[in-house]
Amino acid sequence: MSELQKLVAEVRACRVCADVLPLGPRPILQGSSTARLLIASQAPGAKAHETGLAFSDASGDRLREWLGLSKEQFYDPVRVAILPMGMCYPGRSPNGGDSPPRPECARIWRAKLLEAMPALRLALLVGNYAQDYALGRGKMTVRVRDFRHNLPRYFPLPHPSWRSRIWEHKNPWFREEVLPALRREVTDVLTKAC
Ligand code: SF4
Task: Please give the Cα distance from 146 to 49 (Å, whole number).
Answer: 33
Which pLDDT value is given to residue 96?
80
The arithmetic mean of pLDDT across residues 117-132, rounded, is 97
Which pLDDT value is given to residue 192?
74
What secondary structure does DSSP assign to 49-79, as a single string?
HHHS-TT-SHHHHHHHHHHT--HHHHT-TTT
Q: What separation in Å is there between the alpha carbon of 90 and the centre of ligand 1?
A: 9
Which pLDDT value is given to residue 12?
96
Cβ neighbors of 85 (< 8 A, separation 6 or more) are: 40, 41, 42, 43, 101, 105, 106, 110, 129, 130, 133
Task: Give me the percent of the chain exceeding a pLDDT of 90.
Answer: 91
Atom of ligand 1 nearest to the CA of 86: 1
Is the pLDDT score of 193 beyond 60? Answer: no
Residue nearest to atom 3 of ligand 1 (CA): 105
Burial 159-191 (b: 16+ CB within 10 A, else e): bbbeebeebbeebeebeeebbeebeebbeebbe
8 Å CB contact between 192 and 36: yes
Which pLDDT value is given to residue 13?
97
Which pLDDT value is given to residue 161?
87
The arithmetic mean of pLDDT across residues 123-139, rounded, is 97
The arithmetic mean of pLDDT across residues 11-31, rounded, is 97
Ligand 1 touching residue 84 (CB < 6 A): no
pLDDT band of residue 163 (cuts 50, 70, 90) is confident
Residue nearest to atom 6 of ligand 1 (CA): 88
Q: What is the mean pLDDT of the chain?
A: 95
Q: What separation in Å is there between the alpha carbon of 191 and the centre of ligand 1?
A: 33
Burial 88-103 (b: 16+ CB within 10 A, else e): bbbeeeeeeebbebbe
Is the pLDDT score of 194 beyond 60? Answer: no
Which pLDDT value is given to residue 80?
98
8 Å CB contact between 156 and 143: yes
Q: What separation in Å is there between the alpha carbon of 29 and the centre of ligand 1?
A: 11
pLDDT band of residue 188 (cuts 50, 70, 90) is very high
8 Å CB contact between 79 and 190: yes
